[in-house]
């Protein structure tokens, strides 16, 4: 009798331990199944909306119309693609999601400067905008890295660029290059000039503050710097990315842009 009484608590503990382990195993399995399936689905299906777009739609000020317009990759000017590479992610075609060189340089820079410099790639921004919520805590950052590697594995670079240019915020209640081209320049994304694309890319660090349709002196200065980088990168960037561009010259131009 004594043995059966003492063995009962042990049996209950073992049972609870198995249940917890089974739950964690199933949760992990379903997490990977759902997230991987989600990413694979968006390889072909355009994201219907994002957390930030929903938030902006509900909080859009009176008098401002929420505008979002999807545009396929082939209908977006090469100028727009080069402009965001020049301003946001010079190594877009080279890295596998995270630009470790840029991360190290940002760390060194931030250690000695008040104004902080980021190192998020276009792929990271897609992961953050499409699959996650705004935030800066380490849990969300971990999910961002996870989804970044997933989209780099399952999507092409062209698809990453296409989604990026369609989900990124480009002004108050304004998302995507289609809305930006129409509202700011009364044109289509396919017809954006180098100067217009550089203005749109120049507003991305703070799209609620900068207006490409009525650029401030500061935004015009950023536009000129981005246009210089675009010329340096070259129109054939996406075809010749393996060879890159003159690294020292590009780094100098990028540093000048980051300082602004």
pLDDT value, residue 255: 60
CATH of the domain at 167: 1.10.3810.10
Position 131 confidence tier, pLDDT thresholds 50, 70, 90: very high
Residue 16, Cβ neighbours under 10 Å: how many? 10
Query: Pick from 5, 36, 6: which is nearest to 151 by CA?
Result: 36
84: tokens are 């965001």
Q: Hey, is 171 helix, strand or coil?
A: strand
Structural domain includes residue 57: no
Question: With 50 as the cut, is the pLDDT of residue 93 above it?
Answer: yes
CA end-to-end span of the chain: 80
Structural domain includes residue 64: no
Structural domain includes residue 113: yes
Structural domain includes residue 5: no
**For the chain, what percentages of helix, strand and coil (3-state, to nearest 5) are there?**
65, 5, 35
Cβ-contact 174, 182 below 8 angstroms: no
Structural domain includes residue 233: yes
CA distance 69 to 180: 9
**Each residue of 224-251: pLDDT tens digit?**
999 999 998 888 888 876 555 555 555 6
Structural domain includes residue 18: no
Residues pairing with 175 in the sheet: 68, 169
Structural domain includes residue 82: yes
Q: Give CA 96 to chain center in angstroms.
A: 14
Q: What range defines the domain where residue 255 resides?
A: 76-259
Write down the pTM of the prediction: 0.85
Residue 195, Cβ neighbours under 10 Å: how many? 16
Cβ-contact 98, 124 below 8 angstroms: yes
Q: How many domains does the chain have?
A: 1
- Of 7-11, 31-35, 105-109, 198-202, the least confident: 7-11
The Cα angle at residue 125 between residues 133 and 122, in degrees rounded to 5: 170
Structural domain includes residue 44: no
């Amino acid at each position: 009798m004594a043995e059966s009484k003492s063995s009962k608590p042990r049996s209950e503990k073992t049972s609870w331990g198995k249940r917890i382990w089974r739950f964690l195993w199933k949760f992990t399995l379903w997490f990977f199944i759902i997230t991987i399936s989600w990413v694979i689905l968006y390889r072909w299906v355009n994201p219907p909306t994002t957390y930030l777009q929903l938030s902006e739609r509900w909080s859009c000020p009176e008098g401002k119309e929420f505008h979002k317009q999807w545009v396929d990759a082939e209908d977006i000017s090469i100028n727009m693609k080069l402009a965001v590479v020049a301003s946001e992610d010079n190594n877009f075609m080279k890295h596998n999601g995270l630009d470790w060189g840029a991360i190290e340089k940002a760390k060194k820079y931030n250690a000695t400067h008040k104004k902080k410099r980021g190192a998020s790639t276009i792929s990271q921004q897609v992961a953050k905008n499409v699959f996650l919520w705004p935030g800066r805590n380490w849990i969300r950052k971990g999910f961002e890295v996870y989804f970044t590697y997933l989209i780099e594995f399952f999507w092409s670079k062209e698809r990453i660029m296409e989604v990026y240019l369609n989900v990124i915020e480009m002004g108050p209640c304004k998302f995507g290059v289609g809305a930006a081209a129409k509202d700011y320049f009364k044109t289509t994304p396919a017809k954006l000039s180098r100067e217009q694309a550089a203005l749109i890319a120049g507003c991305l660090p703070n799209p609620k503050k900068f207006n490409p349709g009525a650029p401030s002196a500061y935004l015009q200065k950023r536009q000129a710097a981005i246009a210089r980088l675009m010329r340096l990168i070259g129109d054939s960037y996406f075809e010749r990315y393996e060879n890159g561009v003159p690294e020292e010259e590009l780094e100098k131009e990028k540093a000048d842009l980051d300082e602004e």
